[in-house]
Structure 1
Amino acid sequence: MPNPTACLLVIGNEILSGRTQDINIKFLATRLGELGIPLREVRVIPDVAETIITTVNTVRASFDHVFTTGGIGPTHDDITSECISAAFGVPWEINDEAYAIMNARYPKGEFNAARQRMATMPRGATLIENPVSAAPGFTIGNVHVMAGVPRIMQAMFECLAPTLEGGLPVISRAVYAMGLLEGAIAADLEAVQKRYPDLDVGSYPFAREIGTGVAIVTKGTDAAAAEAATAEVTAMMTRLGLTPIQGEPA
């Protein structure tokens, strides 16, 4: 059976404006790969209700899992939760379990209307635990809604992960060579990709303090094939008189 697929929606005007740099993509891509749920698409969208609703409905019909980050805080521009409700056509209402968790978190009288927004969710949602700041995320259908703050999102995901049905883990093998130019290996590398159609063979030029070169990264669920493809790339670099180095460049 093919592995289930995933899409990530990064929601927030602050990402699109450049004010905030997203670091959640790398974490989720890595962890989902380990679970055998390859991340196939990432979309960054604004805090605009129509855009969120339309995008959620589009991607949840195309992917096995949809993950969202951002827009579930207590302020007026945190509209992800209510938009998910609209996308699924269900009421947006206080979730009793979430309310109880949040109410217990704050001193008496401080669980105000703004904070109660974080306990308001689509009817029928299942909570995603938040061991950092209590306010939970939620799952409805195949859509998993999490916070945008990386530390909180990561903690939420680790609570969610055991419930996700994945497939074969996606493994990655990398080899690089200093001084290598992409044009010198383009044709040979294309031939490697054709021989291993079930793998993703990527070429990534780099410039570091150590110098410049190209890293070749092979990803897939077949470890033997990935090893074989990497061996071919290593031999290719050696034929060019270069010294292949296993792993990613520092």
Structure 2
Amino acid sequence: MADASQEPVTAGFVVIGDEILSGRTKDKNIGFLAEYLTALGVDLVEVRIVPDVRERIVEAVNALRAQYTYVFTSGGIGPTHDDITADSIAAAFGVSIDVDPRARAILEEHYGSPELLTPARLRMARIPAGADLIENAVSKAPGFRLENVHVMAGVPSIMQAMVDAIAPTLKTGAKMLSRTLDADLPESRLAEQLGRIQDANPQTLIGSYPRSTDGRFTTQIVVRSRSEHDLNTAADAVVTAIRDAQART
């Protein structure tokens, strides 16, 4: 893994598949990738869910790859006719696509003989020109990387294995630090003070999350920053605001 930089490293994620948009398949990859990248020091800034339509995939990938350090995609690189992601990525980059000898060799070894590599299975060896392969430790059919775009399977176990494979190659930024503070007060009693603290500490992110238990309203406040000093300064101000608000009850 590349050394952590103080500059933010950003990412976009394109989730591809009619089955996600119809609700037939419940996405599990967004939460996994968000948590994984956060732990690495990469900010997942935007997620788009698009159908199995080439123009929509091309549009999303081209928009995000121009904005963010990395783009990740999931879905649509299987053996069936509607798995069109690889072709769409090739179109997005304006390159050709064909059966890749490296990918074919991986699949031949996996299936045991060339005869078992059916036309449907061979579709999974079609890789855009110039792409590097992403290892698939689960079912062997590789994903691929073209410039800053990483193309992975939609099946969660396979996608997660592919993320593990590419993680050491990613440049990472300073990790986001956080402190969680609980206030035995409704959010409305703290909103104004939290707004002032946020304005005074622009290098932090302050979120407040109201909760209700047996009709009693409380608030959880999460302070986030890449700087431990800034984090502590803002968190101390929140603690003071909570204490002052409780004293007025």
Give the CA deviation at 1:228: 2.6
The alignment status of 1:12 with 2:17, answered yes or no, reads yes
Contact 2:76 2:84 in 1 (8 A): yes
**Which of 20, 39, 45 is the aligned partner of 1:40?**
45
| Cα offsets for 1:171-196 (capped at 9, x unmatched) | 22222335x32222111111121122
Aligned-residue offset at 1:238: 3.0
Q: Tell me which residue corresponds to 1:84.
A: 89
Residue 116 of structure 2 aligns to a residue whose secondary structure is coil
RMSD of equivalent CA atoms: 2.0
Question: Is residue 114 from structure 1 mapped to residue 117 from structure 2 by the alignment?
Answer: no
Give the equivalent residue in structure 2 for 1:172.
178
Show CA shifts across 1:69-90 (max 9, x none): 1111111111111100000000
Deviation for aligned residue 1:163: 0.4
Q: Are residues 1:198 and 2:165 paired?
A: no
Contact preservation (8 Å) 1:34, 1:171: no
For residues 208 and 131 of structure 1, the distance between their equivalents in structure 2, rounded to whole angstroms, comes to 45
1:212 shift after superposition? 5.3
Aligned residue number for residue 138 of structure 2: 132
- 1:29 is matched with 34
Instruction: Give structure 2 stretches of 5+ with no counterpart.
Output: 1-5
Count of residue pairs the alignment pairs up: 241
The structure with more radius of gyration: 2
SS of the residue corresponding to residue 104 of structure 1 reads: helix
Structure with higher RCO (Cα < 8 A, 6+ apart): 2
Q: Cα 1:166–1:107, aligned 2, differ >3 Å: closer, same or farther?
A: same
For the residues of structure 1 that align with 2:88 and 2:213, how far apart are their CA atoms? Answer: 43
**What displacement does 1:211 show?**
6.9
Listed one character per residue, the Cα deviations across residues 189-219 of structure 1 (whole Å, up to 9, x for unaligned) are 1112112212221122345799753322222
Amino acid at match of 1:164: L
TM-score by length of 2: 0.89
User: Which residue does the alignment assign to 1:70?
Assistant: 75
Give, in whole Å, the separation in 1 of the partners of 2:231 and 2:123.
47
In structure 2, give the amino acid aligned to 1:85.
A
TM-score when normalising by structure 1: 0.89
SS of 1:5's partner is strand
1:231 offset after TM fit, Å?
Answer: 2.6
Partners in 2 of 1:119 and 1:211 — Cα distance? 58
Q: Is the 8 A contact 2:190 2:245 kept in 1?
A: no
Q: Which deviates the most, 60-69 or 165-174?
A: 165-174
